[in-house]
Structures are given as C-alpha cells and as structure tokens.
Amino acid sequence: MAVLSGTKNDKILQRAIVAHGEGCVIPDSNNLKFSNVDGSHQSSLGKYEIRESYNGKFGKAYRLDGLDKTNSNARLRSIVLHSYYCISDKESTNLACLSFGCPMLSKSAFNQTAKYIDQSKMPIILYAFY
C-alpha cells in the first residue's frame, strides 16, 4: 500500500505491507483469486472510499465503501481497514497471516496511515489492485 501526498505532483508518503483475504489463496499456485461475495473471505479489487472510524474487535478501524462493481458489497461484507498484531513492517518469506477479506496493516503502519486519514479534509481513496 502507498499513501500519496494529495498534492499536484503526488509523492509517496508511506509504504506498507497489506494482508489480503484467506480465501484468495489458490493451493499450489502463486496466483490469487478475488471476490465480492459475502462469506468468501476473499479480498475485493477496486476503489474504496475510506469512511468513518470506529473502535471494534481490532481496535480503531475505518469502514470502507466499495466504489466499483468488484467491491460494491464492502459494507455488507464488513470489509474495513484495520491493524492486526501478526502483520510485519518488513517483507518476509514466512507465511503471512490472512484476513477474512479486509486489508490489514501492522499496528505501526496503521497508526501512521490513520494520521493521514484523520487529518485529511478531502475524501481518501484506497485502491486495491493485483
């Protein structure tokens, strides 16, 4: 994930490792699959608007509204941006922990991202692509 500055000449302000949904994994393959179906535990591709924050099971999180037909069920599926203890700040060859479809960041990356989100006066778009 990259956070852009929002200026005329966007620059990357932050890079972070993001976990994807456990249902995306195709056994014995380096490819992933994606879905917009509730209960699939797969990540959905496309643009999301980062909306209101709340405190839930994983601490502070942000609700996401899917803006494309590939992620239009984000609210129904409770797909949110949150942190999780097992996400590392560094790339690794170890198996990564996976979500039920939510984009998950390390605690430190999430805290930095939250500062950008909370200080923004403009809508923020999260773009999930593969």
Alpha-carbon torsion, ordered 100, 80, 6, 87, to 10 deg = -50
**C-alpha to C-alpha distance for 10 and 3, rounded to whole angstroms:** 9
Residues above pLDDT 90, as percent of the chain: 66
Read off the pLDDT band of 92 (50, 70, 90).
confident
Residue at token pair 């949110």: 80
Question: H or E element: which one contains 108?
Answer: helix 107-119
H/E run at residue 114: helix 107-119
Average pLDDT over residues 88-96: 85
pLDDT digits (tens, 9 = 90+) for 56-85: 999 999 999 999 999 999 999 999 999 999
* Host H or E run for residue 62: strand 59-66
Q: According to the CATH classification, is domain 18-128 in 1.10.3860?
A: no
> Is 23 exposed, middle or buried (CB count within 10 Å of its CB: 0-12, 13-18, 19+)?
buried
Residue 16 CB neighbours (<10 A): 17
